[in-house]
Chains A and B, each alone.
Chain A
Amino acid sequence: MSLMDLFRKEEPSTASVAKERLRVLVAHDRLRHNGPDYLPQLQQEILAVIRKYVHIDDQDVNVQLEHQGNTSVLELNVTLPEEAQD
């Protein structure tokens, strides 16, 4: 580090931003390309069911499939809009 660096504002390094973005992206890509073919359709149908009750956007449902040893875990994350939570 040089003397000049001391006067610069502390920000997360661009390399760590890159790493974090890649971590998310690569996990997402792997699921899409290597996951079972039915996942996108499953996601669409779950969306349709939830939309019968509350209005949500496409990106409010997140489907993840993780393999841990012999078991596979299907993780479903639905972000409900503010007004629907009470």
Chain B
Amino acid sequence: MAKVIVITSGKGGVGKTTTSAAVATALALRGHRTVVIDFDVGLRNLDLVMGCERRVVYDFVNVVQQEANLKQALIKDKKLDNLFILPASQTRDKDALTIDGVERVLNELKETFDYIVCDSPAGIEHGAHMALYFAEEAIVVTNPEVSSVRDSDRIIGILQSKSRIAEQGGTVKEHLLLTRYNPERVARGEMLSVTDVEEILAVPLLGVIPESEAVLKASNQGVPVVHDSDSDAGQAYEDAVARYLGEDRPHRFLERQKKGFLQRVFGG
């Protein structure tokens, strides 16, 4: 049975699209048939991060409005045969998505795929609501920063009251993914720690992605960061997905790297 996972955060710029691309790619690398959908209608970006922007012909809105079928709109990943991208429309507005239309598309996708990853737009408006409404699980992407934590708490509240599962009396299973984590700054008391954020949000921790140069490098090239298996961020995403699938992996990258003697004496 296919599982619908929403990648959400409330606040923009915290790493939802990077995470959607990385999670979907990691799931596919582990052999699961995966599709990742861009719900950010009007501000399409997932195609860029996945490196398939030049192959977009039809999009999610075309399929929802029945102007194209799924087969025409789904883009096969350039590296993995079991990974597909359903891009957002660049020209329409978010109201082009309807509950009935989205449900029909998701039901059709469920026949073929194991995992349906929904990349939510920022905010709590129509587009975000469409992305989270059918979610069975949610990965809440949060930066260790006050406005991001606050918005995550708000989106968690919305998941537990406005999603279909919530309307039917159930709960959406939530996972916290802390991104752009800088252990050095945490050690200096300049950044909220993993424990701080966990305490405030009270959502089980799926993973911590360190602030990493590899993330920008990956999006520059349009290659999801998990393909960069030497990088800290790539490994951290790989760990997070392994944990999501039930593997027991210790959290890494939470401690600052050991400093040399001179650095310790003079700081920096």
Contact = CB atoms under 8 A, between A and B. Distances in A.
A80 to B, nearest CB: 31
Given A26-B200, A33-B154, A3 B266 contact: yes
Interface centre among A4, A13, A15, A34, by most chain B C-beta atoms within 10 angstroms, is A15
Given A3-B266, A3-B267, A25-B150, 4 more contacts: A2-B265, A26-B150, A30-B153, A33-B154
A29 interface: yes
Interface of B: 145-146, 149-150, 153-154, 157, 161, 186, 188-193, 196, 199-201, 263-268
Interface string A20-44: 0111011001100110000000000
Nearest to B187: A1
A51 to B, nearest CB: 32
A2 to B, nearest CB: 3
Interface of A: 2-5, 13-16, 18-19, 21-23, 25-26, 29-30, 33-34
A15 B153 contact: no
Contacts of B149: 22, 26
Nearest to A25: B150
Give the secondary structure class of B's interface. helix
A82 B154 CA distance: 37
A76 to B, nearest CB: 24
Give the secondary structure class of A's interface. helix
Nearest to B191: A15
A44 to B, nearest CB: 23
B30 to A, nearest CB: 35
Contact of B189 (A13, A30, A33): A13
CB-CB nearest 7 A-B residue pairs = A13-B189, A2-B267, A4-B267, A19-B196, A15-B189, A26-B153, A18-B146
A34 B155 CA distance: 12
Contacts of A3: 265-267
A29 B150 contact: yes
B185 to A, nearest CB: 8
Contact of B190 (A5, A14, A25, A34): A14
B121 to A, nearest CB: 20
Contacts of A2: 263-268
Given A22-B200, A26-B200, A14 B189 contact: yes
